[in-house]
Chains A and B, each alone.
Chain A
Amino acid sequence: TQLLEQSPQFLSIQEGENLTVYCNSSSVFSSLQWYRQEPGEGPVLLVTVVTGGEVKKLKRLTFQFGDARKDSSLHITAAQPGDTGLYLCAGALPGTYKYIFGTGTRLKVLA
């Protein structure tokens, strides 16, 4: 069974703090995405990474794809209350139509 495990599951931090969310698997992915979902809404795509070791930045968010394309991390610098939400990683398995979502990290940033 292919799994994408995220850690931590829950994170509550103060505004201005930094944090890192991890997404790990034993499977290799041809691409990996990060989404943010707010209550009652659909997930919104933040970034796609496709090359091992790739780093992408989106304002205060930094995404990294592991060298072996089995894991990824999301680092948020100086978190803001607007960053609050459910963060999901997801990946496409090579040679298949399978696309797997991670277990999710629920982030709350307190003002």
Chain B
Amino acid sequence: DSGVTQTPKHLITATGQRVTLRCSPRSGDLSVYWYQQSLDQGLQFLIQYYNGEERAKGNILERFSAQQFPDLHSELNLSSLELGDSALYFCASSSGTGYYGYTFGSGTRLTVV
């Protein structure tokens, strides 16, 4: 157990639907990061939050949004889902900038049918 909790572990939904992925960071970590990993693809950075504020944005689609709540947990909202959105979505956390690396959760596998 890495200390980063992601729910749900698996999600199957239809095209056009909306889903919410949830992440609780490791205790004491203020930064949360979201990544997408498609089959045989590398980790694509989506977005970073630090203590409730958006800090950096990567290749996140306009259909996707995220937030970090006062208790530091984060949610990633994916809407108008397309088949190509099927992927593993990882949340990671760090104490600050990630200078010493990240701790990853075990991911949410999203399948859009």
Contacts and interface: CB of A to CB of B under 8 A. Distances in A.
Interface of A: 30-31, 33, 35, 40-45, 48, 50, 88, 90, 92, 97-99, 101-104
B2 A48 contact: no
Contacts, number: 59
A25 to B, nearest CB: 14
Contacts of B103: 45
Measured as residues with beta carbon below 8 angstroms from the partner, the interface class of chain B is 20 to 34
Interface of B: 2, 4, 33, 42-43, 45, 48, 55-56, 88, 90, 92, 97-107, 109
15 contacts: A31-B99, A31-B101, A33-B102, A35-B101, A40-B107, A41-B106, A41-B107, A42-B2, A42-B90, A42-B106, A44-B2, A99-B33, A99-B45, A101-B42, A102-B42
B42 A104 contact: yes
Nearest to B105: A42
A89 to B, nearest CB: 11
